[in-house]
Structure 1
Amino acid sequence: MTAGPQPPYGQQPPDGQSGHGPSGYGPPPGPGGSWGAAPPPPEPTRSTTPTARPSTVRTGIYALVANVVIGLLASVLTFGSLDSLAEDAARDGGISVADARTAVVIGAVIGLVFVALYCVVLWFAWQGRNWARIVLFVLGGLSLLFGLLGLASAGGVQLLLSVVQLVLLAVGIVYLALKPSSEWYRAEKQRRSGAQY
């Protein structure tokens, strides 16, 4: 296909014979013959869908949840012998049995509040919040330390439950610290920061 005659340099050809307009290769220039600014490039699309949790995160959180459940079971067993606990506390502290029972109940309520807060932190860690994972590391490390020291005074079923709790706690901390877990928490942080734009 041959093109028609070209106009002299600097002259506009009639519409329909140029590279512009309806039959040409592009849009006609704007007023004054200028093409104007190019449109901005499209914004990169950011995924708002959470990435799949690696097995290390699932195993770590499940182990910590199991630790909480066993801790609650141990508390129920402890409250089954509330009277003997109060008597022991009264004898050791030199206070009345009634005061010792009140102190044990208050301590148990405070403990349940801490368990509830711990469960909230676990939920945030499950959602991919790295700050919650760090809190679990700190609390888990302290619990391991005090748990190992408390093994000397435990006995029977309490000793068995304490050992199982310590093992679950160690498993949870180790699995949440593994590389796939760290990479997932980093990816989730980037995804959330990108979704805010």
Structure 2
Amino acid sequence: MTESPNYPNYPESASAGRPPGAPARPSTVEGAFWAFIASTVIGLVGGLLIFGNRDAIADALRNSNRQNGGGLTETQIDQAVNIAMITAVVIAVIIAALYLLFAFKLRAGRNWARIVLTVLTALQLISLLVGQSTIVGYVGVVAAVVGVVLSFMAPSNAYFATAKTIR
């Protein structure tokens, strides 16, 4: 095993598929990347599970409508439920796209992406503790927390520091 001046203790074969001068990506960064990918997929699944709760959402809106004087017709309630569901799915897709962008930037050695993912994970954890969630929400947060922990381990820190000096 030869020593690389940019990132010690990684074999030369680890440089395959990387641009010249780029540091070898440690397994902790790869693990963090895949944990954030898993969290993103789980979040999308959770966003799509809203379609299974359409009747419960409609019932809650009907009850609220009755308590407030019944100003909405059945058609308006159905439209409101459809708009709420579509909005939730669109928001889930936008958040998933941003998570993917940040995960790929993290994998490329961008420290700012690691910080953004840490902040988003903290917000996700706070919202989980404050509000109601499903098992899917808990699993998604656990995956994101694993990603944050892996992204701040010693090999990851060295990778981000080395990647910054190369740029």
TMscore range, shorter length: 0.7 to 0.9
Residue of structure 2 aligned with 1:187, choices 158, 162, 167: 162
- Cα displacement (A) at 1:56: 1.2
Q: How does 1:127-138 map to 2 (within 5 A)?
A: 127-138=108-119
TM-fit CA distance, 1:177: 1.3
Percent same amino acid at aligned positions?
33
Counterpart for residue 119 of structure 1 = 100
The code of the aligned residue for 2:28 comes to T
* Matching residue's letter, 1:54: P
Distance 2:135 2:123 in 1: 20
Matched position secondary structure for 1:113: helix
Name the structure 1 match of 2:22.
50
| TM-score under structure 2 length normalisation | 0.73
Which of 57, 64, 82 is residue 54 of structure 2 equivalent to? 82
Letter of the structure 1 residue corresponding to residue 107 of structure 2:
W
Match of 1:60 in 2: 32
Task: Please show how residues 1-197 of structure 1 align to structure 2 within 5 Å.
Answer: 48-92=20-64, 96-97=76-77, 98-150=79-131, 153-154=132-133, 159-192=134-167
CA deviation profile, 1:165-195 (whole Å, cap 9, x unmatched):
2211211111111121111011011112xxx
* Counterparts of 2:97 and 2:60, CA distance in 1: 28
Runs of 4+ that moved beyond 6 A: none
What CA RMSD, in Å, does the superposition of the two structures yield over aligned residues?
Answer: 2.2
Q: Give the partner amino acid of 1:88.
A: A
CA deviations on 1:16-52 (whole Å, 9 max, x unpaired) are xxxxxxxxxxxxxxxxxxxxxxxxxxxxxx9943211
- 1:87 and 1:100 in contact (8 A); partners too: no
Superposed CA deviations along residues 45-102 of structure 1, whole A, max 9, x for unmatched, are x994321111111111111111111111222222233243233245347654122321
Higher RCO by CA contacts (8 Å cutoff, separation 6 or greater)? 2
C-alpha contact 1:121 1:135 (8 A) present in aligned 2 = yes
Structure 2: gaps (5+ residues)? 1-5, 7-18
SS in 2 for 1:108: helix
TM-score, normalising length from structure 1?
A: 0.63
- Alignment length (residue pairs): 141
